[in-house]
Structure 1
Amino acid sequence: MRVLIVDDHPIIVSGCAAILAAEGDIESRDAGDADSGLAAFLDWRPDVTVVDINLPGASGFELTRRILRHDAQARVVVFSMNDDPIFAARAIEAGARGYVAKNDDPFLLLKALREVAAGGLFLMPRMANRLAFDKTLADPLAGLSARELEILRMLGKGLSLSEIAEAAHVSYKTIANSCSLLKRKLGARTPMDLVRIAIEQRLS
Protein backbone atom coordinates (compact mmCIF):
# COMPACT_ATOMS: atom_id res chain seq x y z
CA MET A 1 0.00 0.00 0.00
CA ARG A 2 1.27 3.46 -0.90
CA VAL A 3 0.44 6.31 1.49
CA LEU A 4 1.02 10.01 0.92
CA ILE A 5 1.20 12.16 4.08
CA VAL A 6 0.46 15.87 3.61
CA ASP A 7 1.34 17.67 6.84
CA ASP A 8 3.62 20.60 7.67
CA HIS A 9 4.69 19.27 11.08
CA PRO A 10 7.95 17.27 10.70
CA ILE A 11 7.46 15.43 14.00
CA ILE A 12 4.00 14.24 12.96
CA VAL A 13 5.27 13.20 9.55
CA SER A 14 8.24 11.27 10.95
CA GLY A 15 6.04 9.60 13.57
CA CYS A 16 3.51 8.50 10.96
CA ALA A 17 6.25 7.31 8.62
CA ALA A 18 7.80 5.20 11.39
CA ILE A 19 4.48 3.54 12.23
CA LEU A 20 3.80 2.79 8.56
CA ALA A 21 7.34 1.54 7.85
CA ALA A 22 7.06 -0.95 10.74
CA GLU A 23 4.16 -2.65 8.91
CA GLY A 24 6.42 -3.89 6.14
CA ASP A 25 3.82 -3.64 3.38
CA ILE A 26 3.37 0.15 3.38
CA GLU A 27 5.47 2.67 1.47
CA SER A 28 5.05 6.35 2.36
CA ARG A 29 6.00 9.73 0.98
CA ASP A 30 5.25 13.18 2.35
CA ALA A 31 4.56 16.77 1.35
CA GLY A 32 4.40 19.91 3.49
CA ASP A 33 1.69 22.04 1.87
CA ALA A 34 -1.39 21.81 -0.32
CA ASP A 35 0.33 22.58 -3.64
CA SER A 36 3.17 20.10 -3.20
CA GLY A 37 0.66 17.60 -1.79
CA LEU A 38 -1.46 17.77 -4.94
CA ALA A 39 1.65 17.54 -7.13
CA ALA A 40 2.85 14.47 -5.19
CA PHE A 41 -0.59 12.87 -5.49
CA LEU A 42 -0.69 13.37 -9.26
CA ASP A 43 2.87 12.11 -9.68
CA TRP A 44 2.69 9.08 -7.38
CA ARG A 45 -1.02 8.15 -7.28
CA PRO A 46 -1.02 6.75 -3.71
CA ASP A 47 -3.61 4.27 -2.49
CA VAL A 48 -4.51 6.59 0.40
CA THR A 49 -3.63 10.23 1.07
CA VAL A 50 -3.43 11.50 4.67
CA VAL A 51 -4.23 15.20 4.92
CA ASP A 52 -3.93 17.66 7.80
CA ILE A 53 -6.58 20.41 7.95
CA ASN A 54 -4.29 23.36 8.65
CA LEU A 55 -1.87 23.45 5.74
CA PRO A 56 0.12 26.31 4.22
CA GLY A 57 -1.50 27.62 1.06
CA ALA A 58 -4.91 25.96 1.30
CA SER A 59 -6.82 23.98 3.89
CA GLY A 60 -6.89 20.20 3.97
CA PHE A 61 -10.56 20.38 3.01
CA GLU A 62 -9.68 22.32 -0.14
CA LEU A 63 -6.81 19.94 -0.94
CA THR A 64 -9.22 17.01 -0.59
CA ARG A 65 -11.58 18.63 -3.08
CA ARG A 66 -8.72 19.33 -5.51
CA ILE A 67 -7.52 15.73 -5.32
CA LEU A 68 -11.04 14.43 -5.97
CA ARG A 69 -11.45 16.74 -8.95
CA HIS A 70 -8.47 14.96 -10.51
CA ASP A 71 -9.48 11.49 -9.34
CA ALA A 72 -13.03 10.90 -8.12
CA GLN A 73 -11.99 7.52 -6.69
CA ALA A 74 -9.15 8.94 -4.57
CA ARG A 75 -9.14 7.86 -0.95
CA VAL A 76 -8.39 10.58 1.58
CA VAL A 77 -8.11 10.36 5.37
CA VAL A 78 -8.06 13.63 7.33
CA PHE A 79 -5.65 13.54 10.29
CA SER A 80 -6.16 16.60 12.48
CA MET A 81 -5.59 18.19 15.88
CA ASN A 82 -9.32 19.04 15.92
CA ASP A 83 -11.28 16.28 17.64
CA ASP A 84 -14.66 18.02 17.43
CA PRO A 85 -17.12 16.09 15.21
CA ILE A 86 -17.95 19.27 13.32
CA PHE A 87 -14.54 19.04 11.62
CA ALA A 88 -15.17 15.39 10.77
CA ALA A 89 -18.48 16.48 9.23
CA ARG A 90 -16.67 19.01 7.06
CA ALA A 91 -14.07 16.43 6.05
CA ILE A 92 -16.73 13.95 4.93
CA GLU A 93 -18.54 16.78 3.15
CA ALA A 94 -15.33 17.55 1.24
CA GLY A 95 -15.09 13.92 0.16
CA ALA A 96 -12.73 12.36 2.72
CA ARG A 97 -13.37 8.71 3.59
CA GLY A 98 -11.89 8.83 7.07
CA TYR A 99 -11.16 11.17 9.95
CA VAL A 100 -8.70 10.56 12.80
CA ALA A 101 -7.79 12.99 15.59
CA LYS A 102 -4.08 13.34 16.35
CA ASN A 103 -4.70 13.10 20.10
CA ASP A 104 -6.21 9.61 19.70
CA ASP A 105 -4.20 6.38 19.68
CA PRO A 106 -1.75 6.82 16.75
CA PHE A 107 -2.42 3.25 15.65
CA LEU A 108 -5.99 4.30 14.85
CA LEU A 109 -4.50 6.03 11.82
CA LEU A 110 -3.12 2.70 10.65
CA LYS A 111 -6.53 1.09 11.15
CA ALA A 112 -8.17 3.93 9.24
CA LEU A 113 -5.71 3.59 6.35
CA ARG A 114 -6.34 -0.12 5.97
CA GLU A 115 -10.12 0.27 6.12
CA VAL A 116 -10.17 3.14 3.65
CA ALA A 117 -7.70 1.38 1.31
CA ALA A 118 -10.08 -1.60 1.31
CA GLY A 119 -12.89 0.66 0.14
CA GLY A 120 -14.49 1.39 3.51
CA LEU A 121 -15.00 4.44 5.68
CA PHE A 122 -13.47 5.17 9.07
CA LEU A 123 -14.76 7.34 11.90
CA MET A 124 -14.37 6.92 15.63
CA PRO A 125 -17.68 5.57 17.06
CA ARG A 126 -18.26 8.70 19.16
CA MET A 127 -17.84 10.88 16.07
CA ALA A 128 -20.04 8.62 13.96
CA ASN A 129 -22.78 8.79 16.59
CA ARG A 130 -22.62 12.57 16.75
CA LEU A 131 -22.73 12.85 12.98
CA ALA A 132 -25.72 10.51 12.84
CA PHE A 133 -27.78 12.10 15.57
CA ASP A 134 -26.74 15.74 15.88
CA LYS A 135 -28.52 17.50 13.01
CA THR A 136 -26.67 20.78 13.62
CA LEU A 137 -23.50 19.11 12.32
CA ALA A 138 -25.06 18.73 8.88
CA ASP A 139 -25.26 22.52 8.69
CA PRO A 140 -22.62 23.95 11.05
CA LEU A 141 -23.98 27.48 10.54
CA ALA A 142 -27.55 26.58 11.49
CA GLY A 143 -27.12 27.65 15.11
CA LEU A 144 -25.65 31.08 14.36
CA SER A 145 -27.51 34.35 14.67
CA ALA A 146 -27.63 36.84 11.79
CA ARG A 147 -25.02 39.00 13.53
CA GLU A 148 -22.72 36.02 14.09
CA LEU A 149 -23.02 35.04 10.43
CA GLU A 150 -22.13 38.59 9.40
CA ILE A 151 -19.10 38.64 11.72
CA LEU A 152 -17.97 35.29 10.31
CA ARG A 153 -18.42 36.62 6.76
CA MET A 154 -16.30 39.70 7.52
CA LEU A 155 -13.60 37.54 9.12
CA GLY A 156 -13.53 35.50 5.94
CA LYS A 157 -13.01 38.68 3.92
CA GLY A 158 -9.92 39.43 5.98
CA LEU A 159 -11.23 42.23 8.21
CA SER A 160 -9.65 42.68 11.62
CA LEU A 161 -11.73 42.71 14.80
CA SER A 162 -11.33 46.50 14.98
CA GLU A 163 -12.57 46.89 11.41
CA ILE A 164 -15.52 44.60 12.08
CA ALA A 165 -16.40 46.57 15.21
CA GLU A 166 -16.34 49.80 13.23
CA ALA A 167 -18.46 48.33 10.42
CA ALA A 168 -20.98 46.91 12.89
CA HIS A 169 -21.02 50.11 15.00
CA VAL A 170 -20.27 48.23 18.21
CA SER A 171 -17.29 48.06 20.55
CA TYR A 172 -14.18 45.98 19.96
CA LYS A 173 -14.99 44.04 23.14
CA THR A 174 -18.42 43.08 21.77
CA ILE A 175 -16.86 41.67 18.62
CA ALA A 176 -14.14 39.87 20.58
CA ASN A 177 -16.80 38.26 22.78
CA SER A 178 -18.81 37.28 19.72
CA CYS A 179 -15.73 35.65 18.20
CA SER A 180 -15.14 33.66 21.39
CA LEU A 181 -18.75 32.42 21.20
CA LEU A 182 -18.34 31.62 17.50
CA LYS A 183 -15.28 29.51 18.26
CA ARG A 184 -17.23 27.50 20.83
CA LYS A 185 -20.21 27.03 18.51
CA LEU A 186 -18.11 25.99 15.52
CA GLY A 187 -15.48 23.92 17.29
CA ALA A 188 -12.73 26.35 16.29
CA ARG A 189 -9.63 26.87 18.39
CA THR A 190 -8.14 29.98 16.85
CA PRO A 191 -9.33 33.06 14.93
CA MET A 192 -7.66 31.57 11.83
CA ASP A 193 -9.93 28.54 12.19
CA LEU A 194 -12.90 30.92 11.96
CA VAL A 195 -11.46 32.47 8.81
CA ARG A 196 -11.01 29.03 7.27
CA ILE A 197 -14.58 28.06 8.20
CA ALA A 198 -15.94 31.22 6.59
CA ILE A 199 -14.01 30.43 3.41
CA GLU A 200 -15.02 26.77 3.45
CA GLN A 201 -18.68 27.74 3.87
CA ARG A 202 -18.29 30.27 1.04
CA LEU A 203 -19.32 33.20 3.21
CA SER A 204 -16.43 35.44 2.16
Structure 2
Amino acid sequence: MKLDHLTLVLADDHAIVRMGFRLLLEGVGARVLAEADSGEAAQRLFAEHTPDVLVMDLSMPGCGGLSALERILAREPAARVLIASAHADALTAERALKAGAAGYLCKRSAPDELLRAVGLVAAGQTYIDPEIAAVLRRADRPEHPAEALTDKEFHVFLQLAQGHSVAEVADTFHLSPNTVGTHLYRIKQKLGVQNMAELAMAAVRAGLIEV
Protein backbone atom coordinates (compact mmCIF):
# COMPACT_ATOMS: atom_id res chain seq x y z
CA MET A 1 0.00 0.00 0.00
CA LYS A 2 1.28 3.44 -0.94
CA LEU A 3 0.52 6.52 1.17
CA ASP A 4 2.42 9.03 -0.98
CA HIS A 5 2.31 12.66 0.18
CA LEU A 6 0.16 11.86 3.20
CA THR A 7 1.11 13.98 6.24
CA LEU A 8 0.86 12.73 9.81
CA VAL A 9 1.46 13.60 13.44
CA LEU A 10 2.20 10.70 15.80
CA ALA A 11 1.21 10.88 19.48
CA ASP A 12 2.39 8.15 21.85
CA ASP A 13 4.37 8.37 25.08
CA HIS A 14 6.59 5.44 24.04
CA ALA A 15 9.41 6.63 21.75
CA ILE A 16 10.01 3.14 20.38
CA VAL A 17 6.37 2.88 19.29
CA ARG A 18 6.58 6.23 17.52
CA MET A 19 9.79 5.11 15.80
CA GLY A 20 8.16 1.91 14.58
CA PHE A 21 5.14 3.78 13.27
CA ARG A 22 7.36 6.38 11.58
CA LEU A 23 9.46 3.73 9.82
CA LEU A 24 6.38 1.88 8.60
CA LEU A 25 4.58 4.99 7.37
CA GLU A 26 7.54 6.74 5.79
CA GLY A 27 8.46 3.45 4.13
CA VAL A 28 5.32 3.73 1.99
CA GLY A 29 5.66 7.41 1.15
CA ALA A 30 3.92 9.19 4.03
CA ARG A 31 5.57 12.10 5.84
CA VAL A 32 5.60 12.40 9.63
CA LEU A 33 5.59 16.10 10.50
CA ALA A 34 5.93 15.84 14.28
CA GLU A 35 5.76 13.51 17.27
CA ALA A 36 3.98 14.09 20.60
CA ASP A 37 4.37 12.27 23.92
CA SER A 38 1.30 13.63 25.75
CA GLY A 39 -2.28 14.67 25.13
CA GLU A 40 -1.38 18.36 25.46
CA ALA A 41 1.50 18.04 23.00
CA ALA A 42 -0.78 16.24 20.54
CA GLN A 43 -3.23 19.15 20.64
CA ARG A 44 -0.49 21.72 20.14
CA LEU A 45 1.26 19.89 17.32
CA PHE A 46 -1.97 19.13 15.50
CA ALA A 47 -2.84 22.85 15.56
CA GLU A 48 0.65 23.76 14.34
CA HIS A 49 0.87 21.24 11.49
CA THR A 50 -2.74 20.36 10.54
CA PRO A 51 -1.78 16.89 9.26
CA ASP A 52 -3.98 14.69 7.11
CA VAL A 53 -4.14 12.18 9.97
CA LEU A 54 -3.25 12.21 13.65
CA VAL A 55 -2.31 8.74 14.92
CA MET A 56 -2.76 8.86 18.70
CA ASP A 57 -2.55 6.58 21.72
CA LEU A 58 -5.09 6.85 24.54
CA SER A 59 -2.90 6.18 27.58
CA MET A 60 -0.54 9.14 27.72
CA PRO A 61 0.58 11.56 30.44
CA GLY A 62 -1.49 14.66 31.13
CA CYS A 63 -5.06 14.76 29.87
CA GLY A 64 -4.63 11.52 27.88
CA GLY A 65 -5.73 10.69 24.36
CA LEU A 66 -9.49 10.65 24.86
CA SER A 67 -9.63 14.19 26.23
CA ALA A 68 -7.11 15.36 23.64
CA LEU A 69 -9.33 13.89 20.92
CA GLU A 70 -12.37 15.82 22.12
CA ARG A 71 -10.45 19.08 22.44
CA ILE A 72 -8.92 18.73 18.96
CA LEU A 73 -12.31 18.03 17.39
CA ALA A 74 -13.87 20.95 19.26
CA ARG A 75 -11.39 23.26 17.53
CA GLU A 76 -11.20 21.39 14.22
CA PRO A 77 -14.31 19.27 13.59
CA ALA A 78 -12.87 17.93 10.31
CA ALA A 79 -9.77 16.48 12.00
CA ARG A 80 -9.06 12.86 11.08
CA VAL A 81 -7.83 10.99 14.14
CA LEU A 82 -6.86 7.32 14.25
CA ILE A 83 -6.59 5.91 17.76
CA ALA A 84 -3.84 3.27 18.03
CA SER A 85 -4.18 1.73 21.46
CA ALA A 86 -3.08 -1.28 23.49
CA HIS A 87 -6.67 -1.48 24.78
CA ALA A 88 -8.43 -4.22 22.84
CA ASP A 89 -11.80 -3.90 24.59
CA ALA A 90 -14.98 -2.80 22.88
CA LEU A 91 -15.86 -0.34 25.66
CA THR A 92 -12.80 1.85 25.10
CA ALA A 93 -13.11 1.64 21.32
CA GLU A 94 -16.78 2.60 21.45
CA ARG A 95 -16.00 5.62 23.67
CA ALA A 96 -13.29 6.79 21.28
CA LEU A 97 -15.50 6.40 18.22
CA LYS A 98 -18.41 8.17 19.90
CA ALA A 99 -16.02 10.99 20.84
CA GLY A 100 -15.27 11.45 17.14
CA ALA A 101 -12.28 9.25 16.31
CA ALA A 102 -12.26 8.26 12.65
CA GLY A 103 -10.66 4.92 13.44
CA TYR A 104 -9.58 2.56 16.20
CA LEU A 105 -6.63 0.18 15.83
CA CYS A 106 -5.21 -2.28 18.35
CA LYS A 107 -1.43 -2.08 18.64
CA ARG A 108 -1.17 -5.86 18.52
CA SER A 109 -2.40 -5.76 14.91
CA ALA A 110 -0.10 -6.64 12.00
CA PRO A 111 1.98 -3.76 10.56
CA ASP A 112 0.00 -3.81 7.29
CA GLU A 113 -3.16 -3.16 9.29
CA LEU A 114 -1.73 0.16 10.49
CA LEU A 115 -1.12 1.21 6.89
CA ARG A 116 -4.61 0.11 5.88
CA ALA A 117 -6.17 1.99 8.81
CA VAL A 118 -4.26 5.20 8.05
CA GLY A 119 -5.18 4.98 4.37
CA LEU A 120 -8.89 4.52 5.09
CA VAL A 121 -9.01 7.31 7.68
CA ALA A 122 -7.16 9.69 5.34
CA ALA A 123 -9.68 8.86 2.61
CA GLY A 124 -12.55 9.95 4.84
CA GLN A 125 -13.67 6.47 5.84
CA THR A 126 -14.02 4.86 9.27
CA TYR A 127 -11.72 2.07 10.41
CA ILE A 128 -12.44 -0.32 13.29
CA ASP A 129 -10.09 -3.12 14.27
CA PRO A 130 -11.72 -6.33 12.95
CA GLU A 131 -11.69 -8.09 16.34
CA ILE A 132 -13.36 -5.14 18.05
CA ALA A 133 -15.84 -4.72 15.21
CA ALA A 134 -16.92 -8.34 15.71
CA VAL A 135 -17.56 -7.72 19.42
CA LEU A 136 -19.47 -4.49 18.77
CA ARG A 137 -21.77 -6.34 16.35
CA ARG A 138 -22.69 -8.93 18.96
CA ALA A 139 -26.20 -8.32 20.22
CA ASP A 140 -25.45 -10.28 23.41
CA ARG A 141 -22.34 -8.29 24.30
CA PRO A 142 -22.31 -8.00 28.12
CA GLU A 143 -22.67 -4.43 29.34
CA HIS A 144 -19.98 -3.15 31.70
CA PRO A 145 -21.06 -0.76 34.50
CA ALA A 146 -18.62 1.85 33.13
CA GLU A 147 -20.95 2.28 30.16
CA ALA A 148 -23.30 4.12 32.52
CA LEU A 149 -20.70 6.84 33.16
CA THR A 150 -20.99 10.20 31.46
CA ASP A 151 -18.08 11.25 29.23
CA LYS A 152 -16.63 13.49 31.95
CA GLU A 153 -17.03 10.76 34.57
CA PHE A 154 -15.36 8.27 32.25
CA HIS A 155 -12.36 10.59 31.76
CA VAL A 156 -12.03 11.11 35.51
CA PHE A 157 -12.47 7.37 36.09
CA LEU A 158 -9.59 6.54 33.73
CA GLN A 159 -7.27 9.08 35.35
CA LEU A 160 -8.04 7.97 38.91
CA ALA A 161 -7.79 4.28 38.00
CA GLN A 162 -4.31 4.93 36.60
CA GLY A 163 -3.21 6.22 40.00
CA HIS A 164 -3.58 9.99 39.60
CA SER A 165 -4.71 11.90 42.70
CA VAL A 166 -7.86 14.01 42.88
CA ALA A 167 -5.68 17.14 42.87
CA GLU A 168 -3.81 15.95 39.75
CA VAL A 169 -7.04 15.15 37.94
CA ALA A 170 -8.46 18.55 38.89
CA ASP A 171 -5.37 20.24 37.46
CA THR A 172 -5.44 18.18 34.26
CA PHE A 173 -9.09 18.92 33.47
CA HIS A 174 -9.10 22.47 34.89
CA LEU A 175 -11.68 21.56 37.51
CA SER A 176 -11.88 22.24 41.23
CA PRO A 177 -10.96 19.35 43.55
CA ASN A 178 -14.53 19.50 44.89
CA THR A 179 -15.91 18.92 41.39
CA VAL A 180 -13.61 15.95 40.87
CA GLY A 181 -14.71 14.66 44.29
CA THR A 182 -18.33 14.87 43.15
CA HIS A 183 -17.50 12.95 39.98
CA LEU A 184 -15.67 10.36 42.07
CA TYR A 185 -18.70 9.90 44.34
CA ARG A 186 -20.98 9.33 41.33
CA ILE A 187 -18.46 6.96 39.73
CA LYS A 188 -18.29 4.85 42.90
CA GLN A 189 -22.08 4.73 43.07
CA LYS A 190 -22.46 3.66 39.44
CA LEU A 191 -19.68 1.07 39.56
CA GLY A 192 -20.58 -0.25 43.00
CA VAL A 193 -17.07 0.24 44.41
CA GLN A 194 -16.03 1.49 47.83
CA ASN A 195 -12.45 2.68 47.45
CA MET A 196 -9.67 3.51 44.99
CA ALA A 197 -8.33 -0.06 44.93
CA GLU A 198 -11.72 -1.39 43.86
CA LEU A 199 -11.98 1.45 41.33
CA ALA A 200 -8.66 0.41 39.78
CA MET A 201 -9.72 -3.24 39.69
CA ALA A 202 -12.95 -2.29 37.90
CA ALA A 203 -10.85 -0.60 35.23
CA VAL A 204 -8.59 -3.66 34.97
CA ARG A 205 -11.56 -6.02 34.62
CA ALA A 206 -12.97 -3.83 31.84
CA GLY A 207 -9.64 -3.96 30.02
CA LEU A 208 -9.22 -0.20 30.37
CA ILE A 209 -5.83 -0.30 32.08
CA GLU A 210 -3.01 -2.83 32.11
CA VAL A 211 -1.35 -4.34 35.17
TM normalised by structure 1 equals 0.72
Following superposition, the deviation at residue 183 of structure 1 comes to: 3.1
The CA RMSD over aligned residues, in Å, is 3.0
Inter-partner Cα distance in structure 2 for 1:187 and 1:18: 29
Q: Residue 108 in 1 paired to residue 117 in 2?
A: no
Inter-partner Cα distance in structure 1 for 2:136 and 2:15: 31
Following superposition, the deviation at residue 186 of structure 1 comes to: 2.2
- Specify the SS of the correspondent of 1:20: helix
- Specify the SS of the correspondent of 2:128: coil
Aligned residue in 2 for 1:42:
47
- Counting only pairs closer than 5 Å after superposition, residues 191-202 of structure 1 correspond to structure 2 as none
Mean Cα deviation higher: 102-111 or 62-71: 102-111
Q: Residue 188 in 1 paired to residue 208 in 2?
A: yes
Q: Tell me the alpha carbon deviations over residues 91-128 of structure 1, each in whole angstroms, 9 at most, x when there is no partner.
A: 10211011111111122111100001001011122211
- Specify the SS of the correspondent of 1:78: strand
Inter-partner Cα distance in structure 2 for 1:140 and 1:184: 12
Inter-partner Cα distance in structure 1 for 2:195 and 2:54: 38
TM normalised by structure 2 equals 0.70
Aligned residue in 2 for 1:141:
147
Q: Residue 87 in 1 paired to residue 92 in 2?
A: yes
Aligned residue in 2 for 1:65:
70
Mean Cα deviation higher: 29-38 or 64-73: 29-38
- Specify the SS of the correspondent of 1:136: coil
Larger Rg: 1
The alignment-based identity, stated in percent, is 28
Q: Residue 2 in 1 paired to residue 22 in 2?
A: no
Aligned residue in 2 for 1:124:
129
Contact 2:91/2:147 (8 A) holds in 1:
no
Aligned residues: 169
- Specify the SS of the correspondent of 1:141: helix
Inter-partner Cα distance in structure 2 for 1:177 and 1:14: 35
Mean Cα deviation higher: 9-18 or 85-94: 85-94
Contact 1:136/1:142 (8 A) holds in 2:
no
Contact 2:102/2:127 (8 A) holds in 1:
yes
Contact 2:104/2:128 (8 A) holds in 1:
yes
Residues 1:105 and 1:180: Cα distance change in structure 2 (over 3 Å): same
Partner of residue 27 from structure 1, selected from 25, 28, 31: 31
Inter-partner Cα distance in structure 2 for 1:56 and 1:142: 25
Aligned partner letter, 1:120: Q
Structure 1 runs of 4+ with >4 Å offset = 174-177
